[in-house]
Amino acid sequence: MSTISLRLPDSLHDGVRKLAKQDNISINQFVATALAEKISALTTETYLAERAKRGSKKKFEHVLSKIKDIDPDRNDEPEEPGSDQSK
């Protein structure tokens, strides 16, 4: 495990102290979790961008073409007990 020294503005330190206390965790644990969440968000964005580069509109349209056409006005929802849809 590594140790870092971090300088924070007083307002930010006060905020993290209050939030950590509300969650009954240490400031260290709060900051480590927040950093993990940020890394996850950024790496997910990169992952999705890389996946998008491998995508093919032609293949996508081919897959969509396999879906049966349906009447958009058709109501496939089940009837509620006691309802009369013939009205």
pLDDT (tens digit per residue) in 57-69: 999 999 999 988 8
> Has residue 28 been placed in a domain?
yes
**How many domains is the chain partitioned into structurally?**
1
Reading the chain (87 residues) residue by residue, the pLDDT tens digits are 899 999 999 999 999 999 999 999 999 999 999 999 999 999 998 899 999 999 899 999 999 999 888 777 777 666 677 665 555
Domain housing 32: 17-64
Tokens of 52: 């998008």
> Has residue 5 been placed in a domain?
no
Q: What is the DSSP string of the chain?
A: ---------HHHHHHHHHHHHHTT--HHHHHHHHHHHHHHHHHHHHHHHHHHHH--HHHHHHHHTTSPP--TT---SPPPTT--TT-
How confident is the model at residue 43, as a pLDDT? 94
> Has residue 40 been placed in a domain?
yes
> Has residue 46 been placed in a domain?
yes
> Has residue 84 been placed in a domain?
no
Whole-angstrom distance, CA of residue 80 vs CA of residue 74: 16
> Has residue 87 been placed in a domain?
no
> Has residue 1 been placed in a domain?
no
How confident is the model at residue 83, as a pLDDT? 61
> Has residue 86 been placed in a domain?
no
